[in-house]
Structure 1
Amino acid sequence: MKKDDGLKKYILIAEDEPALLDTMKAIIKKLDGEFEVNTVNSGIQALKFINKSDIDLLITDIFMPGKDGLELIREVRKKSSSIKILAISGFGNHYLKVAESFGASCSLNKPFSKNELESAIHRVLR
């Protein structure tokens, strides 16, 4: 997927919990059609996707099998400083602070509300 216009923003969600992945995708798709959303369930799949596609925002869980979100953030930052990163975790602020020190633009503790997710996305992409 290559960007073809300046209107849509391209988002990749990396999350290993299928229910949360589907919920986040549904929430984002309802935001006035301004976002194109793709999903993967691992850090390894996320890197493969990013290497062949242009994205504006990566939303990544911190703990996933294989390559975790912290490793993913580090590798994405080596590739690009322009990709915005929203880190999410259910394991507390410590890991989110580490994610931000590795280059995440913003972070959210799980569980988060629909409004918190929408607000974080708009804040990061403005």
Structure 2
Amino acid sequence: MPCPAGGAASKPGLAGSVMRKNPTNDDVLSTREAAEQLGVALRTVQLWVESGVLPAWKTAGGHRRISRIAVERLIGERRAALSGDTQPAPLAPGGEARLRVMVVEDEPELLRLFMMVIAGWDLPIDVTPASDGFEALLRMGQQCPDLLVTDLNMPGMDGFKMIQSLRGVGPAYDDMEIVVVTALSEADIAQRGGLPAQVRVFHKPVPFDELEALVRDRVAALASVA
């Protein structure tokens, strides 16, 4: 199931800002024109620019401009997602449907622990790791997970911005379950704008038993419709 999020290859160092630059040609787009070509909301493009997913600069008048080449590259990466197409879950050699899981965690040791523990469950799962929201969005462009497990407090694009960028983008993302695993308290989360009601929140240290139960339920549900 392709996912309508992510972006063209760009550096996370652009996060939260845009550069002032005089374009050398007219091959540039406004944020509204980019949104129309990408088939997403204007706010989605603005978020991608602010987070560095789409490189942009400001004109002397303060208007953002985006390279047409960057937009076309992003369209190519997201073509299936923007069309609303879905892909069946991959099958194991024996014909068993496999659950796609993405784990987003900026602490390398904890990310490795996630990978080792999940591998030990011996379930038909394909796990994709990502170290922040920016990398996660790029990887989603290649294959959208059935289950997204993410931290919130991360450098670059944090979990709040990543989840926000996925909201209202399109129907292809609606079936993806999002689980947050965070050291932030409920009050901290609320102070930073909160999360969508359907997002399940676990608190660190990671409750692997509860996470395993959730994953097993998803695997069983997937097998029942395969």
TM-score, normalised via structure 2 length: 0.49
Query: Hey, which bits of structure 1, 4+ residues long, moved more than 4 A?
Result: 123-126
Given that residues 100 and 107 in structure 1 are in contact (C-alpha distance below 8 angstroms), is that contact kept between their aligned partners in structure 2? no
Given that residues 12 and 37 in structure 1 are in contact (C-alpha distance below 8 angstroms), is that contact kept between their aligned partners in structure 2? yes
Query: 2:182 aligned to 55, 65, 89, which one?
Result: 89
Paired position in structure 1 for 2:144? 54
CA–CA distance in 1 between the matches of 2:131 and 2:148? 13
Given that residues 8 and 35 in structure 1 are in contact (C-alpha distance below 8 angstroms), is that contact kept between their aligned partners in structure 2? yes
Amino acid at match of 1:116: E
Paired position in structure 1 for 2:154? 64
Q: 1:87 to 1:124 in 2, by over 3 A?
A: farther
Query: 1:23 aligned to 113, 134, 138, which one?
Result: 113
Identity level (%):
24
CA–CA distance in 2 between the matches of 1:99 and 1:24? 23
The CA deviation string for residues 20-75 of structure 1, in whole angstroms up to 9 with x for no partner, is 11111111112223211110101000000112213111111001111110111122
Q: 1:93 to 1:123 in 2, by over 3 A?
A: farther
Given that residues 47 and 76 in structure 1 are in contact (C-alpha distance below 8 angstroms), is that contact kept between their aligned partners in structure 2? no
Query: 2:202 aligned to 102, 105, 108, which one?
Result: 108
CA–CA distance in 1 between the matches of 2:133 and 2:216? 23
Deviation of 1:123 (Å): 5.0
Amino acid at match of 2:90: D
Deviation of 1:12 (Å): 0.7
Whichever structure has more strand as a proportion of its residues is 1
SS at match of 2:194: helix
Deviation of 1:119 (Å): 2.4
Query: 2:194 aligned to 78, 82, 98, which one?
Result: 98
Amino acid at match of 1:7: A
TM-score, normalised via structure 1 length: 0.83
Given that residues 152 and 181 in structure 2 are in contact (C-alpha distance below 8 angstroms), is that contact kept between their aligned partners in structure 1? yes
CA–CA distance in 1 between the matches of 2:216 and 2:151? 18
